[in-house]
Structure 1
Amino acid sequence: MASVQLTGTSFVAGRRAAAAPLAQSEGLRPAVFRVSTLSGSRGVGFARRSFQGLVVKAATVVAPMYTTVTPLGDRLLVKIKSSEEKTVGGILLPSSAQSKPQSGEVVAVGDGRSFGKNKVDISVEIGSQVVYSKYAGTEIDFSGSKHLILKEDDLVGILNTDDVKDLKPLNDRVLIKVSEAEEKTAGGLLLTDATKEKPSTGTVIAVGPGLLDEEGKRKPLTVSSGGTVLYSKYAGSEFKGPDGTEYIVLRASDIMAVLS
């Protein structure tokens, strides 16, 4: 048994073809790999392989020949807001430390959903600045920018300012101002940030219009602005306002009780 290193040489129909460098495509990193071969009358056989996988971009690249992307049904095309490359103090951030953006601008919408004979249009207009769920949709590279194709239900809300308290929740989403954690224990000991228990209560700031029923009509939510609620501990998406105030946006089904 012999070990051979391949560097772009190809094998065709059991014989060695002319050596040529591997083509390097955008988003791929060539990797050298080693294989163990078995010699025999039937040409080259691969007994075992040990190699590094090719690193592929997370986004699907749309070929330049296509000039438009048209979402279908209840899907939208959102141009992703660029992530910050520097800290407030001007320090450059490596790509691994840059926070993944969760907001963008709606650039195209589908024709809506059908509920029997009723047709419901997308409730978000082109040009709206939206916030979406962290891992929602399919990312694509289009016209030199990163975009996301996602369903309307993946949208958290509309935010046309830089302050999360101005968020307008969509569907069954609820915006909650998180209660502050206790600074001291019952015995009077001061707590550090690491030991403070994460609160699961807060004040409702805004509520969405509700989900669509089988006839395409909105079902209003049972919670209202101003109420204090208890919610599931690890639910929703967390945000922080410019003044450091913490907020959370979650589905109404993640609210367990109204406190009074």
Structure 2
Amino acid sequence: MMKTEGKQNLEAQGSLALAYTSEENRVLDPELLDKTAMERLPTPTGYRVLVMPYKGKAKTEGGIILTDETRDRNALATVVCYVLKLGPDCYADSDKYSQPYCKEKDWVVIGRYAGGRFKIEGAELRLLNDDEILATILDPDDIAHV
């Protein structure tokens, strides 16, 4: 599939799906989330965290181009997500948390099947409890699926 055809398919799905690029570098580019798409995302209530799973690169280091189906399966079982929004009570319990585990715009590690899954405009999102964040990381490609 040509690059322009892939972009047209994504545009047909909606602006949230445009955050997933088909470039070799990073499949989820948070900078591509336009403000109106961010405003339309659900606002987490209480101690919940809204995250977007990382699909991984579209092309392996060996040059193999992965199918959309393969990347979707990777996103389903991924343990790496990008934090979009935090609920108002996240990490507010000083008896339980000495400091927040994460903040908006962090890359985080979560349990493989943690959170409630749903799609908006073709993009999968998850709502997690604040204590389901296991770690923060700098680069999502540092974590391999096992």
TM-score, normalised via structure 2 length: 0.53
Question: Pick from 128, 131, 137: which aligns with 1:150?
Answer: 128
Q: CA deviation at 1:70?
A: 0.9
Is 1:89 aligned with 2:81? no
2:86 maps to a residue whose letter is: V
Q: Which has the higher helix share?
A: 2
Is 1:101 aligned with 2:75? no
Runs of 4 or more above 6 Å deviation: 118-122
1:76 maps to a residue whose letter is: V
- Compute the RMSD of aligned alpha carbons: 3.6
Q: CA deviation at 1:121?
A: 9.9
Q: CA deviation at 1:144?
A: 4.7
Question: Pick from 43, 47, 54: which aligns with 1:74?
Answer: 47
The 3 A distance-change label for structure 1 pair 144 and 96 is: closer
Q: State how far apart, in whole Å, the 2-side matches of 1:92 and 1:84 are.
A: 9
Q: State how far apart, in whole Å, the 2-side matches of 1:152 and 1:130 are.
A: 11
**Residue segments in structure 2 that go unaligned for 5+ positions in a row:** 1-12, 14-36
Q: CA deviation at 1:163?
A: 7.4
Q: State how far apart, in whole Å, the 2-side matches of 1:121 and 1:69 are.
A: 27
Q: State how far apart, in whole Å, the 2-side matches of 1:71 and 1:142 are.
A: 15
Q: CA deviation at 1:162?
A: 5.2
What residue number does 2:9 align with? Answer: none
TM-score, normalised via structure 1 length: 0.32
Aligned sequence identity (%) = 24
- Report the structure number with the largest CA radius of gyration: 1
The 3 A distance-change label for structure 1 pair 163 and 142 is: closer
Deviations 1:62-112 (A, max 9, x none): xx9x92301112110012223333222121234247534321221111122
Q: Which has the higher strand share?
A: 1
Q: How does 1:192-231 map to 2 (within 5 A)?
A: none
Kept after mapping to 2: 8 A contact 1:133/1:156: yes
